[in-house]
Amino acid sequence: MTKGYTLIDDEEWVLRKVGTVMLQKVGLVPEQGGIRVKDSIEAFIRYTDKPMIANRDAVIEGLKQACRDGLIGIGRGISIHDLQKKWCKEDVILDPNEEGLWIIPPFKPEPVIVDTTDITGTIQPQPGVGPIDKSDETVTPPTATDQVNHMTIKGDVFIENWAEIFRCFIITGRNMNLKKLRLGIDFEMEIQDGVLLDESDPKIKAMEEAARQLGLDFKKR
List own/partner pairs for 213-220 with CB under 8 A and 24 or more apart: 216/185
pLDDT in tens, 62-113: 899 999 999 999 999 888 888 888 999 998 888 888 888 999 999 987 765 5
Q: Where are the domains of the chain?
A: 8-104, 159-214
- Distance of alpha carbon 147 from alpha carbon 145, whole angstroms: 6
Helix, coil or strand: residue 71:
coil
Residue ranges of alpha helices (H) inside 69-183 are 162-165, 171-174
The rounded Cα 7 to chain-centroid distance in angstroms is 31
SS3 of 117, please?
A: strand
Q: Hey, what long-range contacts does 6-12 have (CB within 8 A, 24 or more apart)?
A: 8/52, 8/54, 9/54, 9/55
Average pLDDT, the chain: 76
In this predicted model, what pLDDT tens digit does every residue of 117-135 receive, in sequence order? 444 444 444 454 445 454 5
pLDDT above 70 for 114: no
Taking the C-alpha atoms of residue 51 and residue 11, their distance in angstroms, rounded to an integer, is 12
178 or 9, which is more confident: 178
Q: What count of Cα atoms within 13 Å lies in the side-chain half-sphere of residue 214?
A: 12
Would strands 73-79 and 82-87 be described as parallel, antiparallel, or unpaired?
antiparallel
Pairing of strands 101-104, 35-36: antiparallel
Q: Which of left, alpha, beta for 98 (phi over 0: left; psi -120 to 50: alpha)?
A: beta
